[in-house]
Amino acid sequence: MKTSPPVPPRVLIVGAGPAGLALAIELGQRRIPCLLLERNDRVGYAPRAKTTNVRTREHLRRWGIAPQLRAASPLGVDYPSNVVFCTRLSGHELTRFENAFFCAPGRNPLYAEHAQWIPQYSLEEVLRAHAQSLPGVEIRFNSEVLGFEQDEQGVRATVRDLKREETCTVSADYLVGADGARSLVREGMGAKLEGQYGLSRNYNIVFHAPGLAQAHALGPAIMYWQINEDVPSLIGPMDRGDTWFFMPTGVPQDFRLDAEGSAALIRRATGIDLPYRALSTDEWVASRFLGDNYRDRRVFLVGDACHLHPPFGGYGMNMGVADSVDLGWKLAAVLAGWGGEALLDSYMAERRPVHQMVLDEAVANHALIGNQLARAGLEADDPAGAALREDVGARIQAAKSREFTTLGVVLGYRYEDSPVIAHDGSRAPRMDYLNYVPTNRPGARAPHAWLHDGSSLYDHFGEGFTLLAHADVPETVLQAVRERLRAAGVPLTVLRPAWGAFAELYPTRLTLVRPDQHVAWRGDDWPDAPDALVARITGHTAVSLPRQKALA
Ligand SMILES: Cc1cc2nc3c(=O)[nH]c(=O)nc-3n(C[C@H](O)[C@H](O)[C@H](O)COP(=O)(O)OP(=O)(O)OC[C@H]3O[C@@H](n4cnc5c(N)ncnc54)[C@H](O)[C@@H]3O)c2cc1C
């Protein structure tokens, strides 16, 4: 048996997928030593995400690696993010959505970064390289966590080095399960996934097809939805090197595919005869599952370990990254000594309602895929076929824009029931899934703006809390805030943005923003007795929340 490494990690992270890597970065950037344990080498063409959404790219910007992701784009960031609905790649167009997911480069006042269509394996390379560059972050591949235990002093995990065939114990203050759908950590902490298995059976095939982009007449797009009764499916390019994905949806229970069968099915589905070569062929089952608990004292769950849903809308990976952003600064604050126990409780209180909302969205999107949209006669080359295609195209426009233009879901989620947000009693605006309406209401993402020097407002936020003040707030008030937060050990940056529309975006004279860019408090005056406020936003107020066990 070996003992812990020389620099003891404060946090053990199980799983180096996007959620685990994001957590390592949040901790590493705050100089919290952590050890990431991953049983695989995490390379290859895993059939996973392609949409890195606007919010995830904003986090990459905060971490300083948005340019690296741009540079890693196999298709180029200028590649149009069109989603084309057609009968087949060789068939008729039904309708199209342009700038799906807001991938088009360029400035939008609502957000600091556009989304990007990029294979998950390319995003992970960028995250991994950055995590590994941070002092205090160690990633060990081929290291499987076999089990763990915890007490009031800390956590201990038993880890198997799969190459050397050795077992060791590693210790830390906290352990986070970012270990995916079959999470050992979830099982070990006695949590359960609740929901519905098997909404549909599907395949994801990554394949090589020289010349496929030139062999059809539908123009460039990130996804082509093939709507026909024969092989309803999605297909789209992964890179400029002729690598594509193909996803037949809603396949029957007894349907099985191998590499040879995959090539034949792609040929049949597209109606284009090329030498297709499958690189990976994976079955996946769409389900809707939510964890009943995300925390047991020193142990937490993030990412697919606590939520699973159909990939329509491109939310899963992005949501896992956002989990780690929420938990990361809170763990760092507690380990740095200024964060209290309620910060850790607030992780599940904030994230679970968001997960529930997104799961509902994804399941609604999944309920209307090619299998439901196909109609007899849709491919007919006659006036009746043309009329039917027009009809189906209109139905798709009406029903599916919710899947491709959901800025309301991506940016508009709010932490309504959080024990560490100073809610001000204002009424929550109705959730609008399509439209994101900026607000500095506590719990919401701080409204974004471009500054006159070309920078984003977010570029000026600090690593800790940021106070945004109107120009007429006296310096004495700012000094009082500085002194009170300094006394609490909380890092604070004070900003007085001097552009015209600031007061419209931030109507109160003061707004206090958390490290994750969510509003913690707003008001016109700093309270004369601010202790209760400071205790609340730093997690030093006792809370009683159901289902999660706090530290004794
Ligand atoms: C077809 C498809 C398309 C998708 N498209 C999108 C999309 O467009 N946008 C989007 O946001 N999401 C999408 N997703 C979802 C996305 O791929 C997942 O949500 C994401 O990979 C989850 O990340 P994670 O880090 O939580 O878990 P995972 O990626 O599953 O990583 C978990 C890691 O933990 C490791 N591990 C497990 N147990 C142990 C152990 N005991 N010891 C050590 N290591 C362990 C595993 O080896 C694995 O590497 C899609 C998924 C599918 C199937």
Amino acid at 399: A
Report phi then psi at 225, rounded to 5.
Answer: -90, 115
Q: 22 C-alpha to center of ligand 1: Å?
A: 12
Strand 174-177 to 299-301 pairing: parallel
Amino acid at 83: V
Q: Residue 130's closest CA among 192, 45, 61? A: 61
Q: What angle do CA 456, 459, 464 make, to 5 degrees?
A: 140
The response to whether residue 180 sits with its C-beta less than 6 Å from ligand 1 reads yes
Which pLDDT band holds residue 4 (cuts at 50, 70, 90)?
very low
Sign of the torsion angle spanned by Cα atoms 146, 149, 154, 156: negative
Q: What is the pLDDT of residues 376-428, one digit of tens each?
A: 999 999 999 999 999 999 999 999 998 999 999 999 999 998 999 999 999 88
What is the distance between the alpha carbons of residues 470 and 448, in angstroms, rounded to a whole number?
16
What is the distance between the alpha carbons of residues 457 and 63, in angstroms, rounded to a whole number?
15
Cα-to-chain-centroid distance, residue 52:
8
Amino acid at 297: R
**pLDDT for 46 beyond 70:** no
Q: 452 C-alpha to center of ligand 1: Å?
A: 40
Please state, rounded to an integer, the average pLDDT across all residues of the chain. Answer: 94
What is the distance between the alpha carbons of residues 297 and 341, in angstroms, rounded to a whole number?
10
Q: 17 C-alpha to center of ligand 1: Å?
A: 6
List, in order, residues 6 or more apart from 160 with CB less than 8 Å away.
Answer: 143, 144, 146, 166, 167
The response to whether residue 38 sits with its C-beta less than 6 Å from ligand 1 reads yes
- The ligand 1 atom at the shortest distance from the C-alpha of residue 284 is 53
The response to whether residue 517 sits with its C-beta less than 6 Å from ligand 1 reads no
Beta carbons of 131 and 18 less than 8 angstroms apart:
no
Copy the structure tokens of residue 361.
């969205």
Burial (Cβ within 10 Å: 0-12, 13-18, ≥19) of residue 425 = exposed
Name the percent of the chain lying above pLDDT 70.
96
Q: Where are the beta strands (DSSP E) in 267-343?
A: 277-291, 295-296, 299-301, 307-308
Higher pLDDT, 136 or 258: 136
What is the distance between the alpha carbons of residues 377 and 370, in angstroms, rounded to a whole number?
15
Q: 507 C-alpha to center of ligand 1: Å?
A: 40
The response to whether residue 222 sits with its C-beta less than 6 Å from ligand 1 reads no
What is the distance between the alpha carbons of residues 342 and 363, in angstroms, rounded to a whole number?
32
User: CA dist 241 to 39, 195, 323, 352, Å?
Assistant: 30, 40, 33, 40
Q: Which pTM value belongs to this model? A: 0.95
How many helices (H) and strands (E) the chain has is answered by 14, 23
The response to whether residue 188 sits with its C-beta less than 6 Å from ligand 1 reads no
The response to whether residue 238 sits with its C-beta less than 6 Å from ligand 1 reads no
Beta carbons of 284 and 333 less than 8 angstroms apart:
no
Q: What is the pLDDT of residues 144-202, one digit of tens each?
A: 999 999 999 999 999 999 999 999 999 999 999 999 999 999 999 999 999 999 999 99
What is the distance between the alpha carbons of residues 47 and 329, in angstroms, rounded to a whole number?
30
Radius of gyration of the chain from its Cα atoms, rounded to whole angstroms: 24
**pLDDT score recorded for residue 13:** 98
Beta carbons of 317 and 18 less than 8 angstroms apart:
yes
**pLDDT score recorded for residue 552:** 36
Q: Whose C-alpha lies nearest to ligand 1, atom 33?
A: 15
